[in-house]
Amino acid sequence: MISDAIENMDFWEMLLRTTFAFIILMILARLMGKKQISQLTFFHYVTGITIGSIAAEISAQSETPFLNGAVAMIWWAILTVLVNLLTVKSKKARILFDDQPTIIIHRGKISEQGMKKARLTLNDLNMMLREQSIFTVTDVNYAILETNGQLSVMKKAAQEAATRKDVKAPGNEPKYIPTEIISDGKLIKENLTELKLTEEWVYEQLKKNGVGKLEQVYYAEILADGHLHIDLRTEKK
């Protein structure tokens, strides 16, 4: 009788702990936002696993004090939110926590430096290309390894589906890879240098589009044909 009572108590305690852990986890998921749920970067991937592990621990292990586990889970979520806010405000912090995309193929040529930086083998690269139905590197103009580990690919113009090649139109290669050059009202000078563009050119393009100040621009990128796409602020900074 006593053992049955203990087993029943453990059963109901487990249900209660699981219910409260579930509620806390759902609240924290909403608090941390869609970026965490989508696990855009390795940092968010690790954070998601850790918080899930803590929730599982306090749900299934009666030896673990529930309050201690709940505090650990909440504090981990708060730290994640603080890091997210920091990465929004600071580019250096964004690079520190999220890293940067790495160019693996540049104008049809595999970048040995990019492969070493990403610690990829040629077998890894070929597998990632095949996952996108690309079976030869010669079909690729640019390939970029994103911070979430996914490979983004821009095919050569002649290999785009059912367009220029099918109608025997000239397959002109893009002049630039679409690249961000203004973020939150600030020039990204390293991207300008990479594209061999000058700040004067940017200001001239802004002037042509009726933009008087750099601070008016929320986002701008150079398009493949060399034109500048500008997204102006809708709210005052």
Give dist(CA 149, CA 101) in Å, integer: 9
CATH of domain 179-232: 3.30.240.20
- Cα atoms in the Cβ-side hemisphere of radius 13 Å centred on 47: 28
pLDDT in tens, 8-56: 447 677 788 888 888 888 888 777 766 655 556 777 777 888 888 888 8
Q: What are phi and psi of 169, to 5 degrees?
A: -85, 155
Query: Is-same-fold flag (100-159; 179-232)?
Result: yes
Q: Choose which CATH entry (1.20.58.100, 3.30.240.20, 3.40.50.300, 1.10.150.110) describes domain 100-159.
A: 3.30.240.20
pLDDT, greater one: 194 or 29: 194
Tell me what pLDDT residue 77 has: 86
pLDDT band at 203 (very low <50, low <70, confident <90, very high): very high
Q: Would you say 173 and 157 are in contact if contact means Cβ atoms under 8 Å apart? A: yes
Q: Domain limits of the chain?
A: 2-96, 100-159, 179-232
Q: Supply the pTM of this predicted model.
A: 0.60
pLDDT in tens, 128-181: 999 998 988 889 999 999 887 889 999 987 777 665 666 666 667 778 888 889
CA dihedral 219, 223, 227, 229 (to 10 degrees): -20
